[in-house]
Amino acid sequence: MNLPNKLTIIRMIAVPFFIAFYMMGWALPALILFVAASLTDMLDGQIARKYNLVTNFGKIMDPLADKILVYSAFCMMVEDGTVPGWMMIVILAREFVVSGMRTVAASEGIVVAAGMSGKIKTVLQMIAVPLLLMLGAFPEVTILYYTAYAFLWASLVMTVVSGVEYIWKNKNVFSM
């Protein structure tokens, strides 16, 4: 197994530890672990492309690891009221639609690549989560509150935009 795939697996293994830290109220360890895991996403992609280590495992598991990390954080934040539940529903609905369309396309031998708007969505989510985690540690910092929720809302907007774009660009999947 190559290094980028190992980093992807490490990111997935980090999730239960992140959840445990979050649930115990250990904001700083949860924040550090989330940021470190997020950085492995950037690092594994760069290494895979630079050294031609792109694999089918990585193509499938890397975005899945991202989703597991980010959506685990959002789920924890829905539970404690930091993130509204309806936002999580919108985010998950987009993911289910896109994943379903990818599955149908794959069954026909068609590979549908991720678009730039989807990548922007992921980056915004990976920025929103640490900011929201910091907000839990520093609730009196007003600018942090507005910044964290601005990124959360921006990620929600990009979730919808990227979902609509994905459906529009791949509408032929509905006729398969």
CB 109, CB 58: distance < 8 Å: no
Question: Quick one: pLDDT band at residue 102, thresholds 50, 70, 90?
Answer: confident
Q: What's the pTM?
A: 0.90
Domain positions in the chain are: 3-175
| Token reading at 40 | 């492995």
State pLDDT tens for residues 118-151.
989 999 999 999 999 998 788 889 999 999 999 9
Residue 128, phi then psi, degrees to nearest 5: -60, -45
Helices (H), 80-141: 85-107, 116-137
What is the pLDDT at residue 83?
Answer: 97
Q: What is the CATH architecture assignment of 3-175?
A: Up-down Bundle (1.20)
